[in-house]
Structure 1
Amino acid sequence: MTDKIFARAAQPATPISFDVPAGACDCHTHIHGDVEDFPFFAGRVYTPGPASPDEMAALHEALHVERVVIVTPSVYGTDNSSSLFGMKARGATARGVAVIDDKTTEAQLDAMHADGFRGIRINLATDGVNDPDVGRARFAAAVERMSARGWHVQLYTTPAMISAIRGLVLASPVPVVFDHFGGLEAALGLEQPGFSDLVALVKSGKAHVKISGAYRSSNLAPDYQDMVPYARALIAANPDRIVWGTDWPHPDSAQVAGRKATDPAPFHQIDDGRLLNQLPVWSQDDDIRRKILVDNPARLYGF
């Protein structure tokens, strides 16, 4: 892989316009190490470029963000070694979210915990899972596996699937975290199916939501103004259950006509400085922003 094939992951172009509190956390990032050391999963649906720990460090220095959560993306299957590579480079200010399967042993999970992993991710969106029965079964199995360990279960899915698993989430003995605004579509409005269920789950305290990856839900770059009512509704429902993230390096996991899974999928070029500057638009309260950036991640990820 070379820069002639892949565009580099974006770095912030806009200075931060507010005081970011000490201990702030970017709760959703990925590391893509050198492909020779960290090969991709043969069954992946896209092929991203490299995104190194040094590049991530530069990102967070510009954003004034101290802590990070590195999430294993679908391109690695159940191989979490690239995430661990990034976590070790960051040290005590990093935590991880792993992808596992039924072959993952309890001893392996113990080792992951020692390394700083604190949750597992179920990716129903990139996998194209729309069958509620499949979603319920995968979620229930994950919750059962994590119940004795106390890790959280993170889902990348759609509002329709959130509605389908609502009862299971309410009964879950472990925290549940929804990626990227719960996969909503800004153009469909606040009354879109599933959004009220997401809000209700957040209000109940049984679910966290990452107000991250706004570009996945909105077509109004670069400020994503149409995300304002959704962010405000989720924060108002329960500010103790909201965390923030960049989704750096902003992979393009979409199915594109004519692009094979093994073809290079250039990163989205997102200005994360401008993105973080939307947080004071979403919440003008300093104490609430501190909860979102510092207190909630510290509790959820065990910083």
Structure 2
Amino acid sequence: MSFTAGAQALNVSQSAVSRHIISLEEMLGQKLFDRSGQKLVLTPAGAALLPEVRRSFDRLEHTMNAIGVDPQAGRPIRIHIPPSLLQQVVMPMIGAFHAEYPDIRIDISSSPVTGLPRNETDMAIVFDRPNIDDRVTDLLWLVRVAPVCSPAVAARHPGKSLEAFLADNDLLHVTLAGEPRGLLWSTFARQSRIALDANRGLAFDTLSSAVSYAMHSNGVALADVEMFAPEIAAGRLVVPHDAAINDGFGYYLKLRPDDLADPSISLVRSWLIAQFAARQAAG
């Protein structure tokens, strides 16, 4: 928000920056900055243009850095994947993809966010409810959750109803940005038609952490039974009641429509969709 600071960052004169901005505004037929006050303020047109300009420069810098290291290599494809899905499901897929397509480089980032991550990516698998935005969106995994615990916890409460079992144990939560602490348990209780104090217990930032605590300590986690099927099959995790529900959340692959023109991104998208479809069919 300063022509002077921008000029210093670009190592050019302030007047050069000002002239370029004026030329850009004339070309667009829209003002990008309001210059009437003590400081620059973006106009609606400037605010609309800013994220696209930022993304373009970010991608340009990313590609130039890659070329500087290896002139023959294309830029890596940046993918964001939620931590629990990455650990439980996607990690073997990434290994198989790398073996099949060794020339396509992938940079993976992971953070416990709901929806799109803040960092710039080429595609992202997001944990969210169904929504409509300006991105190409593919459903990869529909979540189906049930209360899970260690075998020891289940053994201490034989014959209890679901409502009594949950009332007698700590609830383990997964925090969702911008959502109430007990949202997932409240949803489960409503669909299961039971009374439940959904706010008590411990909270974790990832589902994997909550389930790990449930396996090695006390408490009951609300977990995706398909995602943790290996732990359930091995007996390390128990589903004490047949009470699985679809809670409205899922994992969605999102990318910008114009990125589909990149053959590598298009290939990764198709490959991931096929892998998730095959896993679901096998399950």
Using structure 2 for the length normalisation, give the TM-score: 0.24
The structure that has the greater radius of gyration is 2
Higher relative contact order, chain-length normalized (CA < 8 Å, sep 6+): 1
